Amino acid sequence: MLRSNRAQGALILQPLALVAFLTAAACGAPPSVDAAKVFTPAHQSTGEAAREFFGMRAVAVQPIPFPHKTHIAKKAECVDCHESVEKGPIAGIPSVKTCMICHSQIATDKPLIKQVTGYADKGIEIPWQRVYGFTREAHVRFNHAPHIRASVACATCHGDVANQTVAERVVDHNMGFCVNCHKQKNASNDCLTCHF
């Protein structure tokens, strides 16, 4: 949701440049799955350029430095906050209401927790910046649930978030990354599995 808001905001500023740019990339010779390694560098420049265009940075600047590490050390699990990751396409970012389940009582005197409470009291969500994600224009579909069912670890695709504070983009979700694993695991590599 945050992502599409941002994408729309950016698109209003300069739609034609990006459409032309991505169309040019997509009209090139379609890469074969076996050529994924050769194909990857070309992608990286397009993908990186698109992400930069949409303001997604490797190190997103978050409104509050949410410490993943502290919460995992206290035995919180990924699914406690990213509640829909096992159920469908989207992992989900927790509402400030989820934070308040604990922080209405825990560490209430700390300045950062006062900031969290401030959002909750005003009834507004914390405006987290997206770290991972495809632009709509990339025409990629992704679905978490089948990967979790197939026991692919979060860390395979997101790195060691359990030891990060705010999440950082440490894995490049380029096409080669996806198709190489699909090939190894005999998952579908039809273009339409991942593209629309």
User: Interface residues for ligand HEC in 130-159 (CB under 6 A)?
Assistant: 130-134, 138, 140-144, 146-150, 152, 154, 156-158
Binding ligand HEC by CB under 6 A: which of 21, 55, 57, 62? 62
The token duo for 4 is 């599409």
Binding ligand HEC by CB under 6 A: which of 7, 11, 18, 91? 91
In whole angstroms, the minimum distance from the beta carbon of 170 to ligand HEC comes to 10
Binding ligand HEC by CB under 6 A: which of 7, 11, 18, 50? 50
In whole angstroms, the minimum distance from the beta carbon of 16 to ligand HEC comes to 18
What is the rounded distance in angstroms from the CA atom of residue 38 to the CA atom of residue 159?
A: 24
Nearest C-alpha neighbor of 54 from the set 14, 1, 86: 14
Q: Could you tell me how many residues of this chain bind ligand HEC (CB under 6 A)?
A: 83
What is the rounded distance in angstroms from the CA atom of residue 91 to the CA atom of residue 78?
A: 10
What is the rounded distance in angstroms from the CA atom of residue 182 to the CA atom of residue 84?
A: 23
Nearer to ligand HEC, 14 or 101 (CB): 101
Q: Is 33 helix (H, G, I), strand (E, B) or coil?
A: helix
Binding ligand HEC by CB under 6 A: which of 7, 11, 18, 43? 43
DSSP per-residue letters across 81-92: HSTTTTTSS---
Q: Angle at Cα 23 formed by Cα 141 and Cα 182, nearest 5°?
A: 30
Binding ligand HEC by CB under 6 A: which of 93, 117, 125, 136? 93
Touching ligand HEC, residues 2-21 (CB under 6 A): none
**94 interacts with ligand HEC by CB under 6 A:** yes
Q: Is 128 helix (H, G, I), strand (E, B) or coil?
A: coil
Residues whose CB is less than 8 angstroms from the CB of residue 117 and which lie 6 or more positions away in sequence, other chains included: 100, 103, 104, 108
Nearer to ligand HEC, 12 or 184 (CB): 184
Binding ligand HEC by CB under 6 A: which of 76, 83, 117, 125? 76
**49 interacts with ligand HEC by CB under 6 A:** no
Q: Angle at Cα 26 formed by Cα 25 and Cα 27, nearest 5°?
A: 95
Q: CA-based Rg of the chain, rounded to a whole angstrom?
A: 19
Binding ligand HEC by CB under 6 A: which of 6, 10, 21, 42? 42
